[in-house]
Amino acid sequence: AVTARGVVDYLKGLEVGHLGVLYVNDAYGSTFYEAIVKASFTRPPNDRITVKGNPFSSTVESSRDIELAVREMAKTNYRYYFGVFYEDHYETIMKYAIQYGIAGPGYVWIISDGLSETFLEGKVYEDGSDLAIASQGVGILKAEGGRETKDGRSGYDRFTKAWYEEQGEENIDYH
Cβ(78)–Cβ(18) below 8 Å: yes
- φ, ψ of residue 122 to 5 degrees: the values are 80, -5
pTM over 0.95: no
| E strand or H helix at 58 | none
Q: How many Å separate Cα 143 from the centre of its chain?
A: 10
**Which distant-in-sequence residues (6+ apart) come within 8 Å of 83 by Cβ?**
21, 22, 23, 93, 109, 110, 111, 112, 114
Report the C-alpha gap between 145 and 133 in whole angstroms. Answer: 32
pLDDT in tens, the chain (175 residues): 678 888 898 898 889 999 999 999 999 999 999 999 999 998 888 888 999 999 999 776 678 899 999 999 999 999 999 999 988 899 999 999 999 999 999 999 999 888 776 677 777 788 888 888 888 777 777 665 555 666 766 665 666 666 666 666 665 554 4
Report the C-alpha gap between 3 and 35 in whole angstroms. Answer: 9
CA distances from 163 to 112, 137, 150 (A): 29, 37, 20
Give the pLDDT of residue 13: 87
Cβ(51)–Cβ(36) below 8 Å: yes
